[in-house]
Structure 1
Amino acid sequence: MTTKPQSSYNFRSSWKPASKFREHLSVDVPIDDAPIQHSRFSAESSPPSFRTASAATMNDSHPGSKVRDIEAQSQRSGFRNRLTHRFTNLFFDLRVLGKEPEIVPIQPPQLPDWPPLKVEDKLVRCACEQRHERNRKRIRIWLIILIIVLLFLFFNTVFLNVRVVRLSSAPPGPLATSITSTNSSSSPNTLSVDAQQCISQYTLDAPASPSSYPCSSCLPVLQSVPSGLSSTDPSDMQQVLNAIQFCGLKGIFDDSDSTAQTALHNQGWLNDTRFCAWNSVTCDGAGRVSSLQLTFPSVPSLFPSELVALTGLQSLSVIGNNAMPAGSLPSSFTNLTLLTTLHLESTALTALPDNLFSSLNKVTTLALIDNAQMGNTLPSSVTQLSLQSLVINGQSLNNPFPSFASSASLQSSLQLLDLSSTNLTASIPASITSFTALKELHLSSDNIQSPLPSSLPQSLQLLTLANNSGLSGTLSGCPSTLQSCSVTGTAVQVGSGCGVCTTSGSG
């Protein structure tokens, strides 16, 4: 069996250039036994090397391979190959020298960079956020105030508890019976233990329960405290004064019946210890009760002895219901030495003490009205007063003119004398002209008798003699200052100079 010889293909003899230019074209012809390189992307191919195969590398790795120039049909060395490559590039550049350059794509215009935006770093808030912020601030403020108040109450409670414990550690004993022993054992310039206990009870317990404060035992103790203690805290002395004033008013409340107590409660009495804020009570700048005006039903059944604790009292007015207050004034009533006005109306009080105004010598206004049980005689000490106003109405009265005429103080000070409706049986004395300050004289609805005085005080402005059926004669000697005059209900005739007077026939 004969084998047909294989025809060898001669690449160099069969290839002919298609162009007249001699371009650099080289092909590496692998040797027959060169390994076949598979696809780089197949599963069987090995990872690619760092460098791809080139003519130089292939010549080094395969010494049997040869670099062949197809056009020259001869082998070339590496140096000659590079020289040929350079000449080829030179001829290519000369060939395309006259051609148009490749069109360069339009480049986008170079825009300048935008300047940085100058935006203020200001946070814009809506109205709701501002409102929430205000609410939060308000809440914080209230929390701070609440904390301060709680701290104040806490420390105040601690202080009061410490003081109570300190005072309670003192040796016990009846307050009322230990005044002398306590005062003798304590320094004369300091408060006694009993006085300190009374003050503590007044400041700590009385505000919560005023009616439970033991005035019966504490009032004598506090009244025995000297007015000027050099080593005593001024606040303690003020509390002593307040407790004394409180007990004086509490005595009035305690001596009242249930109706009167209810009425006083409604006016603020004993609801707290701030007695200057109670109705019918007026205090001076030092915190002392200066004026007391009691009107039924807010009146006591009796005048209490504690009333004398109101040593700063200047004006006392009591208007009852003809049944209360009853009884007599307490003997210690004479300790109200600052009293200037005394008004007792519709009471059931008995006769006033004869020496009452020897101590109450500052009284300038005295009014005794409708006190049926008081009797018909004024205290003899009334003539020692420098009264400016004396009013006695609605109760029986004996003739006071003789005693008045002998009082130099009344003659120079009395400005108003009203003795109407007293069943007064007397005649107007000629000595009436000695009352040089008298401006008003009221003697109506009495039993004034003739004769009439020949002249009247030159300061007189008002004169009332009405409803004295037994009075007759001629009224003359009226002063030029007289502005009003009434003799209605009498048989009095008006003489010259008394034209302002009205008579029964002039109506």
Structure 2
Amino acid sequence: MSSKFREDFDTSRFTKFLFDMRIQEELPEWPPLHVQKRKSRRTRIILLLCLLIIVLLFLIANVIFLNIRVLSVQPATPSSTSLSVNAQQCLSQYTLNAPSSPSSYPCSTCLPILQAVPLSSNSQNAQQIINAIQFCGLRAIFDTANSQGQASLGWVNDVKFCAWNGVTCDSSGSVANLQLTFPGVPSSLPNELGALTGLKSLQVIGGNSIPAGALPSSFTNLTDLSNLHIEATSITQLPDNLFSSLTAITTLTLIRNPTMGSSLPSSLTQLPLQNLVINSQSLTNPLPTLSSSPAFQASLKLLDLSSTSLTGSIPNTISSFASLTQLLLSNNNLQPPFPSNFPPSLQILNLQNNTGLSGTLPSSLCNSTLLTSCELGSTGLIGGCGLCQFS
């Protein structure tokens, strides 16, 4: 090989070598294709797993939030963990069933059960328990009453007892005033009446023969009672210790109750009574006892014992009634001696139709500046003065 050929050949090989080197420097080095595909699939899997975890976390958080929200806004139910099973059933029946079928509610079973529930530990259900108890107390009156007369009052058509005729409730929804008038009166006052512990005024105007019998033993539960009116009934004698429990009474009215007896309960004189009205039923003269009571001396304002067949005399202690404004003793059989003084606060005096009463009017009565009415007709009294009339 000639030197010229060898030189040209070497130059060509060297030029190709440089050219190849330059190409390699300018072009990037690419990884194998199967390696890149494996990395892309792994990335997608990781991304999908992350997305799945995020979705699961969101769903779990959403369930927890919904459960908390339901618990926080869930309405109160009649049941309570502190209620017995029987009490829960009674309360549920009253809440769910009684509104549509009030006469079917099992008061005879549920009333004693609910009365035994301590309301202080069941504040959530307290009002509904009270409502059920009061409903049963009133329905017992309906159940023992003249059905036609009581139906006319609109009772037991629903459980909205505050709207029943003769029933008045206070601002808390408790029965405060109850007026029973013939023919809408029971044959006898039921023991369930004592369930109305918030009662402040009770008026019973019967049909002479009904209500009859004794007051129920639960009557002493009515410790808030301030006004008791019993008229035209056959109720028997009031228990002697009745007013040892009913200490809030300020007005007692007894009219035409012939079977009630002629003596008043001894516990009556313990009351700070303001008004005592007993008419048209026989009494053994209670004036000496009443006028000697310290409680009566301080509080009594009205004393009406008209038409009670009183005998004996008006005691001098009658003047001890420091607050008395009305003394009504007409249509009786009072006898002398006539008292020498009357209460200084007296405004109205009625002694008419006591034909056996005689004597002279005291000057303190004649000179009273507070007296506005003085009826002495059909008596043997003399010495008329001032406002006192003898005819």
TM-score normalized with structure 1 length = 0.60
Match of 1:265 in 2: 151
Instruction: Show CA shifts across 1:171-230 (max 9, x none).
Output: xxxxxxxxxxxxxxx96xx1222111111100111111111100011001100110211x
Match of 1:213 in 2: 105
Give the aligned residue type for 2:377. T
Do the aligned partners of residues 463 and 240 (structure 1) sit closer, same or farther apart at CA in structure 2, a change above 3 Å counting? same
Match of 2:256 in 1: 370
**Matching of residue 464 in structure 1 with residue 350 in structure 2:** yes
Match of 1:290 in 2: 176
**Matching of residue 199 in structure 1 with residue 122 in structure 2:** no
Of 298, 313, 319, the residue aligned with 1:412 is: 298
Match of 2:386 in 1: 499
Match of 2:374 in 1: 485
Q: 2:292, 2:317 within 8 Å by CA — same for their partners in 1?
A: no
1:242-321 equivalence runs, <5 A = 242-256=131-145, 260-321=146-207
The whole-number CA distance in structure 2 between the counterparts of 1:291 and 1:414 is 23
State the shift of 1:233 in Å: 5.7
State the shift of 1:262 in Å: 2.2
Question: How many residue pairs end up in the alignment?
Answer: 314
Instruction: Show CA shifts across 1:249-290 (max 9, x none).
Output: 01101111xxx2222222220000000000100001111100
Give the aligned residue type for 1:503. F
The whole-number CA distance in structure 1 between the counterparts of 2:274 and 2:217 is 25
SS in 2 for 1:279: coil
Instruction: Show CA shifts across 1:431-471 (max 9, x none).
Output: 11110000000010001111211121110000000001101
Q: Which has the higher contact order (CA 8 A, sep 6+)?
A: 2
Instruction: Show CA shifts across 1:68-106 (max 9, x none).
Output: xxxxxxxxxxxxxxxxxxxxxxxxxxxxxxxxxxxxxxx
The whole-number CA distance in structure 1 between the counterparts of 2:123 and 2:329 is 56
1:443-458 equivalence runs, <5 A = 443-458=329-344
Give the aligned residue type for 1:238. Q
The whole-number CA distance in structure 2 between the counterparts of 1:432 and 1:402 is 8
TM-score normalized with structure 2 length = 0.78
Give the aligned residue type for 1:320. G
Match of 1:360 in 2: 246
The whole-number CA distance in structure 1 between the counterparts of 2:123 and 2:226 is 32
The whole-number CA distance in structure 2 between the counterparts of 1:275 and 1:296 is 19
The whole-number CA distance in structure 1 between the counterparts of 2:231 and 2:115 is 30
State the shift of 1:355 in Å: 0.2
The whole-number CA distance in structure 2 between the counterparts of 1:233 and 1:371 is 43
Give the aligned residue type for 2:250. T
Q: Which runs of 5+ in 1 are unaligned?
A: 1-158, 168-185
Match of 2:220 in 1: 334
Q: 1:410, 1:435 within 8 Å by CA — same for their partners in 2?
A: yes
Structure 1 runs, 4 residues or longer, greater than 6 Å off = none
Q: 1:416, 1:441 within 8 Å by CA — same for their partners in 2?
A: yes
Q: 2:179, 2:204 within 8 Å by CA — same for their partners in 1?
A: yes
Do the aligned partners of residues 463 and 233 (structure 1) sit closer, same or farther apart at CA in structure 2, a change above 3 Å counting? closer
The whole-number CA distance in structure 1 between the counterparts of 2:126 and 2:147 is 30
The whole-number CA distance in structure 1 between the counterparts of 2:372 and 2:189 is 41
The whole-number CA distance in structure 1 between the counterparts of 2:115 and 2:353 is 52
Give the aligned residue type for 2:388. C
Give the aligned residue type for 1:246. F
Q: Which runs of 5+ in 2 are unaligned?
A: 1-73
1:32-111 equivalence runs, <5 A = none
Q: Give 1 or 2 for the bigger CA radius of gyration.
A: 1
Match of 2:233 in 1: 347
Do the aligned partners of residues 346 and 494 (structure 1) sit closer, same or farther apart at CA in structure 2, a change above 3 Å counting? same
SS in 1 for 2:252: strand
Q: 2:274, 2:299 within 8 Å by CA — same for their partners in 1?
A: yes
The whole-number CA distance in structure 1 between the counterparts of 2:130 and 2:349 is 46
